[in-house]
Structure formats: C-alpha cells, structure tokens
C-alpha cells in the first residue's frame, strides 16, 4: 500500500531560550491520517515542539511546515485560514471559564464561519455528543471533571473539522480507565473522520495503544533519539534510554 502524503514536515528544528538549548536538529514527517506521537521524559521539550508546530513559538533553527505553511511566519487572513485547518487540545483543556461547554465549542465557529447562532449551537452539541458529553452542554468548565475537561477540549479542537488535531498530554492526570476511554475516543475519531493526530505524551499505555508512529526526545541528548513504530521501539531499540523508557527502568549514571 502506498504511503500517505506527509502533512507536517519538521526540518532540523532547534530551540534555545537565552543560552539554554532545549533541543537541536529535530526532523520528522507526519503522514495524513495517522496518529503520530511525540514522546519523551519530563522537561525534554515535547510541549515546546508542539508550540513550534502550531506556530506559537518560532524555532531558533530549522522550520516546521504544517499543511505546507510555516504557521509562525503567517500573518493576517492567511494565518486565520491556516489556523482554521488545525485544532489544539491543551493539557488542562484550556476552556474559557465564563462560557459553558457548548459556548466554548461554538467559539471557533463564531470566529471563522458565517454559521448562524442556531447552527453553531446545533453543531457544537453534535461535537459534544461525539466526545460523549452530549448531556453536559450547559455546564461550566468548573463543574466538570478532569477527564470531561479534556473531552470538551477535544470537542472544541474539532469544532471546524480540522485536518490535524494536536493533543498536549491528553492522558496526564487521569485515572487508567478514563485515560483508556480517551485513547479509545482518539482512535475512533481518527478512524471515522480521517483526521491526523499529533499527540504529545509520556504515558506509556497511551503511546502503545494509539500511536501509529512516534519520535522520542531526550533531555540529556538535547534532541531526537528515536523514530519509528512504538511497539518496534519497545521491542527492538538499541538505544538504552529508549529501552529504559519503554521498560520503565531507572537509568544508571
């Protein structure tokens, strides 16, 4: 079977804050329709790489092409159009506390479409129904659990049927059952909608459950140390850090 076209290209990305280098020379491709995982230990720069990909942070070196564009360099209408084609779910959901779930999900529609209010509400309800929150549409973010917040965050990220969904630590802080439910939701959405997922996580179970391909960043190495299918990395990697990560071993100095 022919490989799907690449939808994201990271070419030699490096980032430093002042004299502190976070990572260097990170290169990879994400193919259309796959679930791509960026993994690594705490502090290795996973979320920083995500911010570079979605254009919130310009890299110090290299470039990140998402849907053929460098989002960090786009301005005005071109930037708004490009942002309408991606969705981002933040680690804590990042829902606006003063709006209920339906209003949160309808917010991108209000900004990017000409849909009338009734249409926005109906579509927002449908998106909440897709993530299993159909009966919580009028609840405020402060009134729901952490797992529900993440689901609502996914519903908002999916508001405009984006081509790529970026998820930052979707399983972090969740119990194993809720976390497994979220993994199942991501796989269902990927299968049914064909959306490309880029997932930042360090949760081993999630990586193995949902990841089609992955890259691993390492703080000590200051960059990418492995790329491939998660199960292959777990079973066949020669890199001691990768092996230790997948086998939950303590690295010896």
Partner 1 sequence: MVLRPPATLDLPAAAALWRPMLGAVAERRVTIDASGVTKLDSAGAVLLLEAAGGSELRPPQDAKAAATLERMRLALAAAPPPKPALQPHWVSRIGMAVLNGIGGLGRRVSFLGEVTLGTLAMLARPWRMRRVEVLRHLAEAGTAAFGLCALLGTLFGVILAFQSSIPMRQYGAEIFIPNLVGISLLRELGGLMAAIILAGRSGSAYAAELATMKVNDEIDALATMGVDPLAWLVLPRILATILVMPVLALVVTLSGLVGMGFVMATLGYPPPAVLSQLRQYLQVGDMVGGLFKAACFGLAIGLIGCRSGLKAGGGPRAVGDAATGAVVASIVATVVLDGIFAVLFFRLGW
Give the binding site for partner 1 (CB under 8 A). 97-98, 102, 113-116, 118-119, 121-123, 125-130, 132-135, 137-138, 140-142, 160-161, 192-193
Distance CA 25, CA 14 (A): 5
Q: Which is nearer to partner 1, 46 or 127 (CB)?
A: 127
Min dist. Cβ of residue 244 to partner 1 (A): 33
Min dist. Cβ of residue 78 to partner 1 (A): 17
Min dist. Cβ of residue 218 to partner 1 (A): 31
Phi, psi values for residue 225, rounded to 5° = -115, -10
Eight-class DSSP state of 141? G
Q: Which is nearer to partner 1, 43 or 134 (CB)?
A: 134
Eight-class DSSP state of 135? G
Q: Which is nearer to partner 1, 8 or 158 (CB)?
A: 158
Min dist. Cβ of residue 193 to partner 1 (A): 8
**The 213-218 sheet, strands edge to edge:** 61-66, 6-17, 20-31, 223-228, 213-218, 35-40, 196-201, 164-168, 86-89
Q: Which is nearer to partner 1, 38 or 160 (CB)?
A: 160
Q: Which is nearer to partner 1, 128 or 182 (CB)?
A: 128
Nearest to 47 by CA among 81, 89, 100: 89
Any idea which residue has 């990017």 for tokens? Answer: 112
Q: Which is nearer to partner 1, 86 or 130 (CB)?
A: 130
Token digits of residue 176: 């194993």
Min dist. Cβ of residue 176 to partner 1 (A): 23
State the DSSP H helix or E strand holding residue 152, giving kind and residue range, or none if neither.
Answer: helix 146-157
Min dist. Cβ of residue 51 to partner 1 (A): 21
By residue count, the chain amounts to 253
Q: Which is nearer to partner 1, 38 or 84 (CB)?
A: 84
Nearest to 126 by CA among 136, 134, 115: 134
Min dist. Cβ of residue 117 to partner 1 (A): 10
CA distances for 193 relative to 34, 131, 164, 165, 189, angstroms: 11, 13, 11, 11, 6
State the DSSP H helix or E strand holding residue 177, giving kind and residue range, or none if neither.
Answer: helix 176-193
């Amino acid at each position: 079977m022919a490989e799907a076209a690449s939808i994201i290209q990271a070419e030699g990305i490096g980032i430093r804050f002042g004299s502190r280098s976070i990572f260097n020379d990170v290169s990879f491709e994400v193919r259309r329709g796959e679930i791509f995982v960026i993994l690594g230990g705490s502090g290795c720069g996973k979320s920083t790489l995500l911010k570079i990909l979605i254009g919130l942070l310009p890299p110090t070196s290299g470039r990140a092409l998402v849907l053929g564009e460098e989002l960090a360099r786009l301005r005005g209408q071109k930037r708004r159009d490009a942002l309408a084609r991606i969705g981002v779910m933040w680690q804590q959901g990042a829902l606006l506390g003063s709006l209920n779930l339906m209003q949160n999900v309808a917010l991108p529609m209000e900004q990017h479409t000409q849909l009338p209010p009734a249409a926005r509400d109906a579509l927002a309800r449908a998106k909440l129904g897709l993530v299993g929150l159909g009966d919580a549409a009028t609840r405020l973010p402060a009134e729901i659990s952490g797992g529900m917040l993440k689901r609502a965050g996914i519903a908002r990220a999916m508001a405009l049927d984006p081509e790529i969904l970026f998820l930052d630590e979707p399983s972090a802080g969740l119990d194993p059952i809720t976390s497994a439910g979220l993994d199942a939701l991501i796989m269902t959405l990927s299968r049914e909608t064909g959306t490309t997922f880029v997932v930042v996580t360090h949760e081993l179970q999630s990586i193995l459950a949902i990841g089609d391909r992955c890259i691993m960043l390492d703080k000590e190495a200051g960059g990418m140390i492995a790329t491939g299918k998660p199960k292959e990395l777990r079973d066949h990697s020669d890199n001691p850090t990768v092996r230790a990560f997948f086998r939950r071993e303590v690295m010896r100095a």
